[in-house]
Chains A and B, each alone.
Chain A
Amino acid sequence: MRRIFTSVAPTIVTGIAGAFVLASFLVPSLIVLRAPLIGVATIIAGVAVLMGFAHLLYVHLRRLRSGSGALYSLVLILSASAALVILLIDRYTTQQLFTRFIFQHIIVSTQTALGALLAVFLMLAALRMLMRRRGAVAAWFLAAGLVVLVTQVPVVVDGPVGSVLTAVRQVFDAIATAGMRGLLLGVALGTLATAFRVLFFIDRPQSE
């Protein structure tokens, strides 16, 4: 009986839902089949976010009790709870000022600060790689980095140097585009194979 709920039913539900969605992509008139499934997926995702939030609080409450990183956990619990309460209350206001304030002045600004650090981190990582791994990959990475720097810097250079830079840029743009397309092709094939295995019950990530 337990196996019906943990293995058979999830497999059948996945197969039927997958077949409906696939059919709706192949036959445009069947697109109405997709809408209810998207609704169900949205509800499940919403419940999952609630569960995830509870999980996050639970993990940090445990850390608070154990004492390791207690201060950070306390700050997280307080700020997460405050954000939840504020956002819930703000839903009933017309302008949603608090929500906008939190996003613009806290979330976006911290994200921007971290994003700015990324360039520095990358440069350090590249330097470490060149010192640690002096192989073909490092040489290729260095050469590609230098070429991109030289050709993409927005400096207008006239004359023969400018023509050479433009030609080099065009060659490297073509190589980069070809590489990107090759990468996307491989990912698309991998996606197709994964979807095929899930649809035909070869892979069952959702069941025992």
Chain B
Amino acid sequence: MIGLPGLIGLVALAVFGVAQFFLIGTISAGRRPRFRPIPLFTALRGMLGRSIESGRELHVSIGTGSIGGEDMATTLAGLQIVEYLADEAAASGVAPVITTADAATLILAEDTLRRPYIRQGSLENYPPLSARLPALEPTQYAAATMDYLAHGRVLANVMSGVFGAEAGLMARAADKDALPQFGGAADPRALAVLLPTADNLLVGEEMFAAKAYLQARPPHLASLRAQDIARWAIVAGIIALFVIGLLSQAGQP
């Protein structure tokens, strides 16, 4: 039998779902919402073009997270950037270098990169080692990526996904060569170490907005708007509970 927490969860999910499908309808009808600009997404546009012009590689790290655990959503958020770049890569013929420290995520990243080439019927142009697994453990991955950033021909360093404090090691390697850096993480430790070096930083929930900003399709815009509405509802709930708590304390002798 479903318990009270389960029931609350189910109701919240249903409300979120209904709101999302309603918003997809209104956005598809032409009422597109406006969101505040996020500089990282603006900077990412045309990055592969600059990679072609300069003959240098764009490094995208999707972190150390797995797609089979609690990090799944954050890893998928990192992959959203790969998905956007993959479309550009298939069109331009130059793919970014994607690195991760998880073997299953590597397979998904490789598939994400390869898919636009299949769609365009140009699979023979797909560079097979664009997705790489430098190591299987976060600190070793950071060390291997530091070596790549220091010795490879890298144009810019993008890090968006699951990271811990080891992100600071990679960021430092890129910072030493004054590479443009774009970071995104959900873990406060990673955000703290990325802040001093990253030119642009995606903080927490901003990571999950990549598709809405980069591809701007109605379902993703609706998803982002639904998140905004849910956030305001939660904030209102917290304030209401705080006021109720204060009033009830004031009423006690």
Q: A: which residues have CB within 8 A of B?
A: 22, 25-29, 41, 44-45, 48-53, 55-56, 59, 62, 69, 72, 107, 110-111, 114-115, 117-118, 121-122, 124-126, 128-129, 137, 141, 180, 183-187, 189-198, 200, 202-203, 205-206, 208
Contact = CB atoms under 8 A, between A and B. Distances in A.
B63 to A, nearest CB: 14
Given A26-B7, A27-B3, A205-B108, 10 more contacts: A26-B6, A48-B104, A53-B136, A55-B133, A69-B151, A128-B175, A183-B203, A183-B205, A185-B234, A206-B111
Interface residues on B, range: 35 or more
Nearest to A62: B129
A55 B110 CA distance: 12
Given A51-B107, A114-B143, A187 B205 contact: yes
Interface of B: 1-3, 6-7, 9-10, 13, 16-17, 20, 66, 68, 73-74, 76-77, 79, 83, 102-104, 106-108, 111-112, 115, 118-119, 129, 132-137, 139-140, 142-143, 147, 151, 165-166, 168-169, 171-172, 175, 186, 188, 191, 193, 195-197, 203-209, 211, 219-220, 223-224, 226-227, 230-231, 234
A59 B130 CA distance: 11
B227 A121 contact: no
Contacts of B186: 183, 187, 190
Contact of B223 (A107, A115, A196): A196
B193 A48 contact: no
A164 B211 CA distance: 47
**A-B CB proximity, top 10 nearest:** A52-B103, A190-B208, A186-B205, A191-B73, A26-B6, A48-B103, A121-B172, A48-B104, A125-B196, A129-B196
A197 B20 CA distance: 10
Contacts of A27: 1-3, 6
A130 to B, nearest CB: 8
Nearest to B100: A52
B205 A45 contact: no
Contacts of B79: 205
Contacts of A208: 115, 118-119
Given A107-B137, A121-B168, A189 B129 contact: no
A37 to B, nearest CB: 10
Nearest to B193: A122
Given A196-B13, A208-B119, A125 B2 contact: no
B201 to A, nearest CB: 9
B1 A29 contact: yes
A117 B17 CA distance: 46
A10 to B, nearest CB: 10
B119 A205 contact: no
Contacts of B169: 114, 117-118, 121
A197 B146 CA distance: 34
B207 A52 contact: no
A187 B204 contact: yes
Nearest to B207: A190
